[in-house]
Homo-oligomer: A and B are copies of this chain.
Amino acid sequence: MDPRVREHAEVIVEHSVALAEGDNVIIRAPAVAEDLVVALLEAIGDRGGNPVVLDSNARFSRAYLRASEEFETPSHELALIEESDVYIAIRANTNVAEQSDVAPETNAAYSQTRQPILAERLSKRWCLTQYPAPANAQLAERSTEAYENFVWDAILKDWDEVREHQAQLKEILDSGSEVRITSGETTDISMSIAGNPALNDYGEKNLPGGEVFTAPVPETVEGEVLFDKPLYHQSREIHDVYLRFENGTVVEHAASKNEDVLTGVLDTDDGARRLGELGIGMNRDIDQFTYNMLFDEKMGDTVHMAIGRAYGDTVGEENEQNDSAVHVDMIVDMSENSRIEVDGEVIQRDGTFVFEDGFDG
């Protein structure tokens, strides 16, 4: 086994979920991530945790989704999660296109019935991470070895240093109210974040981490945005997502490729037409776009927004939490002709923050 696999498992168990003796743990992983599951089970056994391993093979989801007419919330899976303390989800693929012949409306109906499962998962100590499988390397257009280096370089790093650097942005957002993001001719969107705390993501719930994010106050989102980085959702690439918001709701949408998948997401429920997250990527070690949101959204010089569910801990007590069965992130390239303003003051221009060298206010 590559020694970095056991280092990866140690980061998850020690840093990301802070495993304690007696914790009930769920690991959800496909078989291609077998080595990382073995290393996690060594680390969990060593600390006196109680593991259960769920198999997340995409062929399984495809077979079940295509055969089913209707869905209901699986109460046995819900009971499993309710009785757990820690949820570790490992992403890795054997074929990233495996679910490409599942109808978007089937996925939407399925997500809808799984909303209580998602909510319960998010109420636990959880970590979402990536194992560098060959199919993911293929999607990233890298050799398996180069992709392994990319993934483990992004994961095996000094997360305390990351925390300190990112704390500067968290402070600005926590003391600000109105955020406006402009990029080129195509993006000019504003929203209030008043009362909503910004979270400093330094490799806990997401591994790798490397962003500061919060939730917009849903009804305050106004304007238009072109997400010029593609996203990969339900085994399909969606290009050039365009959204226009009025009073917080998407009133116009388009995409240059696979628009029907986008429409399916937006039609999932009411909350799917509102923003649930505003995130600002700060991880300059992630210097390659790999069609993988877990990495792409953390890139330096980018901003991302998610339609759908807001994370509970990014919503202040006085504010409404946007509720939805979905949470789909999309990315704007901020490296050129772009600005982030907070209460009228420019805090980032063309990717460089006000607290960094080379900032040109």
Q: Could you list 27 A-B pairs, sorted by A, with CB under 8 Å?
A: A22-B72, A24-B76, A31-B31, A31-B34, A34-B57, A38-B60, A42-B63, A42-B67, A43-B67, A45-B63, A45-B66, A45-B67, A45-B68, A48-B68, A48-B70, A50-B76, A51-B64, A52-B54, A52-B74, A52-B77, A53-B57, A55-B55, A75-B83, A76-B80, A76-B81, A76-B84, A77-B80
A65: Cβ under 8 A from any B Cβ: yes
A37: Cβ under 8 A from any B Cβ: yes
What residues of chain B lie closer than 8 Å to A84, measured between beta carbons? 76
- Interface size, A (range): 35 or more
Query: Which residues 240-278 in A have Cβ within 8 Å of B in the complex?
Result: none
- Interface flags for A127-145 (1: CB within 8 Å of B; 0: not) read 0000000000000000000
Is the pair A64, B79 in contact by a Cβ cutoff of 8 Å? Answer: no
Query: What is the CA–CA distance of A82 and B70 in the complex, to the nearest angstrom?
Result: 24
- Which residues of A come within 8 Å of B, CB atoms? 22, 24, 26, 29, 31, 34, 37-39, 41-46, 48, 50-55, 57, 59-60, 63-70, 72, 74-84
What residues of chain B lie closer than 8 Å to A45, measured between beta carbons? 63-68
Query: What is the CA–CA distance of A43 and B68 in the complex, to the nearest angstrom?
Result: 9
Is the pair B31, A74 in contact by a Cβ cutoff of 8 Å? Answer: no
Is the pair A44, B69 in contact by a Cβ cutoff of 8 Å? Answer: no
As for how many copies of this chain the complex holds, the number is 2
In this complex, what residue of B is CB-closest to A22?
B72
Query: What is the CA–CA distance of A54 and B52 in the complex, to the nearest angstrom?
Result: 8
Query: What is the CA–CA distance of A226 and B313 in the complex, to the nearest angstrom?
Result: 65
What residues of chain B lie closer than 8 Å to A83, measured between beta carbons? 75-76, 78-79
Query: What is the CA–CA distance of A118 and B29 in the complex, to the nearest angstrom?
Result: 24
In this complex, what residue of B is CB-closest to A38?
B63
What residues of chain B lie closer than 8 Å to A68, measured between beta carbons? 45-46, 48
Query: What is the CA–CA distance of A70 and B49 in the complex, to the nearest angstrom?
Result: 10
What residues of chain B lie closer than 8 Å to A34, measured between beta carbons? 31, 57, 59
In this complex, what residue of B is CB-closest to A71?
B50
Is the pair B57, A74 in contact by a Cβ cutoff of 8 Å? Answer: no
Query: What is the CA–CA distance of A59 and B274 in the complex, to the nearest angstrom?
Result: 44
What residues of chain B lie closer than 8 Å to A67, measured between beta carbons? 41-46
Q: Quote the shortest CB–CB distance from A219 to chain B (angstroms).
A: 36
Q: Quote the shortest CB–CB distance from A56 to chain B (angstroms).
A: 8
What residues of chain B lie closer than 8 Å to A29, measured between beta carbons? 55
What residues of chain B lie closer than 8 Å to A80, measured between beta carbons? 52, 76-77, 79-80
Query: What is the CA–CA distance of A48 and B70 in the complex, to the nearest angstrom?
Result: 7
Among B31, B39, B74, which residue has its beta carbon within 8 angstroms of that of A55? B31
Among B41, B55, B59, which residue has its beta carbon within 8 angstroms of that of A54? B55
Query: What is the CA–CA distance of A344 and B182 in the complex, to the nearest angstrom?
Result: 94
Given contacts A31-B57, A48-B70, A55-B53, contact A63 B76 (CB under 8 A): no
In this complex, what residue of B is CB-closest to A21?
B70
What residues of chain B lie closer than 8 Å to A46, measured between beta carbons? 67-68
Given contacts A57-B31, A76-B24, A83-B76, contact A64 B52 (CB under 8 A): no
| Apart from A22-B72, A41-B63, A48-B68: 7 A-B pairs, beta carbons within 8 A | A34-B59, A42-B64, A48-B69, A52-B76, A54-B55, A75-B83, A76-B83
Q: Quote the shortest CB–CB distance from A287 to chain B (angstroms).
A: 34
Given contacts A38-B59, A38-B60, contact A24 B54 (CB under 8 A): no
In this complex, what residue of B is CB-closest to A46?
B67
